[in-house]
Structure 1
Amino acid sequence: MDFLSLLGVILAFVAILGGNLLEGGALSSLFNAPAAVIVIGGTLAATILQTSWPILKRASAQFRWVFVPPFISIEDGIGKVIDWSVKARKQGLLGLEGLAEKEPENFARKGLQLLVDGAETETIRSIMEIDLDCREQRDLESSRVFEAMGGYSPTIGIIGAVMGLIQVMTNLEDPQSLGSGIATAFVATIYGVALANLLFFPVANKLRGLVKERSRYEDMMIDGIIAIAEGENPKSIELRLRGFLQ
Structure 2
Amino acid sequence: MTDELVHLAHADTADGRVATITLDSPHNRNALSRQLVTELLGHLAATADDPEVKVVVLRTAHRVFCSGADLSEAATAPMEEGARAVVELQRRIVAHPKPVVVALPGPVRAGGIGIVAAADVVVASTAATFALTEVKLGVTPAVISLTVLPRLTSRAASLVALGGEVFDGARAAAYGLVTTAVEPVELDAEVDRVVAALASGAPQGLAETKALLNRDLLARIDADGERLVELSARLFRSDAAREAMTAFLSRGR
Question: Which structure exhibits the higher relative contact order, with contacts defined as CA atoms closer than 8 Å and separated by 6 or more residues?
Answer: 1
* TM-based fold match above 0.5: no
What's the TM-score, normalizing by structure 1?
0.24
